[in-house]
Amino acid sequence: MIDIKFLRENPEIVKENIRKKFQDKKIELVDKVIELDEQSRKAKAEGDELRSRRNAISSKIGELKRTGQHEEAEKIMAEVAAIKTRLPELEKLEAELEEEVRKIMLVIPNIIDESVPIGKNDKENVEVERFGDPFVPDFEVPHHAEIMKKLNGLDKDSAGRTSGEGFYYLCGDIAQLQSCILSYARDFMIDKGFTYYIPPFMIRSSVVTGVMSFDEMDSMMYKIEGEDLYLIGTSEHSMIGKFIDTIIPESELPKTLTSYSPCFRKEVGSHGLEERGVYRIHQFEKQEMVVVCKPEESMEWFHKLYSYTVEFFRTLDIPVRTLECCSGDLADLKVKSIDVEAWSPRQKKYFEVGSCSNLGDAQARRLKIRVKGSEKKNYFAHTLNNTVVAPPRMLIAFLENNLNEDGSIRIPEALRPYMRKDVISVPKK
């Protein structure tokens, strides 16, 4: 959510930003919110003036009565009574207008960074850099589900009976592999100076609407029936929500946090849930990184965060590339975003395994996350989030890039202390 004062003073900039995101139907909202905001401010000004007038004249009534000026006192009492009648009307009008303004402001997209490439959708995202050499072995790489099944590591049939499509059982060495990757990711981020968290896996609606757009909310979140609670789609939701309605001393910034959680997503409109693999599913685990910082430091942190993901994947011998999201592919709260994509030897292309986002002060403004500056002035913090690793999707890249011809899986050196072996062997029949 952008600053209403900025919108009021720079309506054409806001409209041009909407055009860059190819959301022209929202352009008219700018003029509408300006009009409603003006009405709201007029109602507030009238209310403030009436309260001031009431306070100024009320004290005179007793004095006028004591001095025998009863007629004048009656006039003032009538005016005070009229003010008492008008004030509730103004307060109600002001509250209604403020709520209408807020609703509109929540759907007007954040101002994107000037460096963001302009494009309509993810097909126009721009490759930034590649790390590691993409490799295709001289033997056929099976579908990841077949690799897992050969290792007795995946059971989707049973999950289909217990839970339906989009769920899975991981077992044996593959289940251990996923847990070890997450443990390694935790320690990797702790070594970078981040504080480790396990957050609540359910959050209130006030947090949901603070951390994401309504479109994302509808397509992603599972609502707990009969309660004001949602299952989280990523631990970023809980971690940013942790700071709701707080004032952070500037000396405590940046807050650098890394969090583990299961994640739950409806995947509305997604295709392929009936597939045999684990690429798009309703439930997965994830290690996340979150930063709350000063505005002037957020872009520096943005580049640090996605570089950590690149470094993490390279320690597991997985080639990756970074892909900058174009304007039309950015969610409304985001200022700038870069996806990290891993190489798939089977498909001979890259696919997304993580996303790094700078949200500017949009989440902080919605959730009232403020910073007490050195000059005792409060301002809104900037928030960022990034995926360290999100298995089991990441397992696809791991298995394909570390697959041996006999179907066994090589364990990279960085992961061997966790797995306590250097290879996952194919079980003997």
pLDDT of residue 366: 94
Question: DSSP code of 246?
Answer: E
- Sketch the domain layout of the chain as residue ranges: 4-105, 122-424
Q: Which CATH number fits the domain 122-424, given the four candidates 1.10.287.80, 3.20.20.70, 3.30.930.10, 3.40.50.300? A: 3.30.930.10
Convert 361-388 to b/e letters by CB count within 10 Å (16 or more is b).
bbbbbbbebbbeeeeeeeebbbbbbbbb
Convert 90-122 to b/e letters by CB count within 10 Å (16 or more is b).
beebbeebbebbeebbbebbbbbbeebeebeee
Please state, in angstroms and rounded to a whole number, the distance separating the CA atoms of residues 152 and 316: 22
Please state, in angstroms and rounded to a whole number, the distance separating the CA atoms of residues 35 and 40: 9
DSSP structure string for 200-226: -SEE-HHHHHHHS-HHHHHHHPEEPTT
Please state, in angstroms and rounded to a whole number, the distance separating the CA atoms of residues 232 and 240: 12
Q: How far is CA 310 from the centre of its chain?
A: 20
pLDDT of residue 274: 44
Largest CA-CA distance found in the chain, in angstroms, rounded: 110
pLDDT of residue 61: 65
Among 357, 363, 356, 368, which Cα is nearest to 382's? 363
Please classify residue 77 by burial: count the beta carbons closer than 10 Å to its beta carbon, then call 0-12 exposed, 13-18 middle and 19+ buried.
Answer: middle
Q: Hey, do 4-105 and 122-424 end up sharing a CATH topology, with the first three levels equal?
A: no
pLDDT of residue 37: 94
CATH of the domain spanning 4-105: 1.10.287.40
Please say whether the beta carbons of 403 and 313 come within 8 A: no
Please say whether the beta carbons of 347 and 134 come within 8 A: no
Among 101, 85, 84, 82, which Cα is nearest to 42's? 101
pLDDT of residue 275: 58
Q: CA-based Rg of the chain, rounded to a whole angstrom?
A: 28
pLDDT of residue 268: 53
Among 202, 26, 17, which Cα is nearest to 118's? 17
Please state, in angstroms and rounded to a whole number, the distance separating the CA atoms of residues 229 and 204: 5
- Mean pLDDT by runs of 10 across the 429 residues of the chain is 92 97 96 95 90 78 71 80 88 92 93 97 96 95 94 92 91 96 98 98 93 77 93 94 96 97 78 61 93 97 97 97 97 96 96 96 95 88 96 92 96 97 91
Please say whether the beta carbons of 17 and 111 come within 8 A: yes
pLDDT of residue 219: 76
pLDDT of residue 276: 59
Residues 6+ apart with CB under 8 A from 367: 207, 210, 211, 240, 241, 243, 244, 245
**At residue 19, what is the residue type?**
R
pLDDT of residue 59: 67
**At residue 363, what is the residue type?**
Q
For residue 269, give the 3-state DSSP assignment.
coil
Please say whether the beta carbons of 214 and 331 come within 8 A: no
pLDDT of residue 278: 80
Tokens 């899975």 correspond to 168
Residue 231: beta bridge partners? 202, 222
Scanning 316-402, the segments in alpha helix (DSSP H) are 362-367, 393-401
Please state, in angstroms and rounded to a whole number, the distance separating the CA atoms of residues 396 and 410: 14
DSSP structure string for 281-335: -SEEEEEEEEEEE-GGGHHHHHHHHHHHHHHHHHHTT--EEEEEPPGGGS-TT-S
Query: 37: left (phi > 0), else alpha (psi -120 to 50), else beta?
Result: alpha
